[in-house]
Amino acid sequence: MMFGVSRKMPVHICLKEMIPNLLTVTRLVAGLWFLFAGTIPASRTQLILLLLAVLTDVVDGRIARTLGTTSSFGAILDTLSDKTFVLCLLAKLVFNGILPYPLLIIILVQYALIPIGGFLFFRRFDAIPEPGRAARIGAILSVATILVGITVAAPHLTVAVCALAIVANCAHVGVRFCAVLN
């Protein structure tokens, strides 16, 4: 026995259980890839790959629920992949002069506050908070900011959409913290 693990223990990994998490990881990889290798304006191929990555965010959770393979790990991985994907692409917009640096910092702070609010919510109510309308709107506007920035590459329009995403994220963070404080 080495490191407390018997060599006779069967390792059972079912592909069905891995599918949602593999989709989630592709989003994480796509964001990092675009940060280092993507171009602005994005080529048609790059845009299709990024849209497929966004699509994985829509389907990974549904697939996990359909297959009965939801897990805490999958939920955490999904959130981490979502935030990393968005932050990588927003950073690319900052590096290319399309989005001002302070907006990226504001979104980074908001993304840090969301799990803190979720943790406090859990501690107070012993329940995981469900994302509300503001969270969904903020996510949609974040993706819209990215799509406008990498396709049109118009700084003023990108900043305007990003500002709307920031407002929605502020509402999301505010609702979370108000629920905890009341």
pLDDT digits (tens, 9 = 90+) for 102-153: 999 999 999 999 889 888 988 998 887 888 899 999 999 999 999 999 998 8
* Amino acid, res. 18: M
pLDDT category of residue 4 using cuts at 50, 70 and 90: low
**C-beta atoms surrounding 31 within 10 Å:** 25
**Rounded to whole angstroms, how far apart are CA atoms 123 and 179?**
12
**Rounded to whole angstroms, how far apart are CA atoms 30 and 159?**
23
Q: For the chain, what are the domain ranges? A: 15-181
**Rounded to whole angstroms, how far apart are CA atoms 31 and 26?**
9
Instruction: Note the residue count of the chain.
Output: 182
**Mean pLDDT over each residue of the chain, to the nearest integer:** 89
pLDDT digits (tens, 9 = 90+) for 18-36: 899 999 999 999 999 999 9
Residue 26: name the closest of 53, 51, 4 by CA. 53
| pLDDT at residue 62 tops 70 | yes
**Rounded to whole angstroms, how far apart are CA atoms 20 and 64?**
6
What is the fold of 15-181? Four Helix Bundle (Hemerythrin (Met), subunit A) (1.20.120)
**Model pTM score:** 0.85
**Rounded to whole angstroms, how far apart are CA atoms 173 and 169?**
6
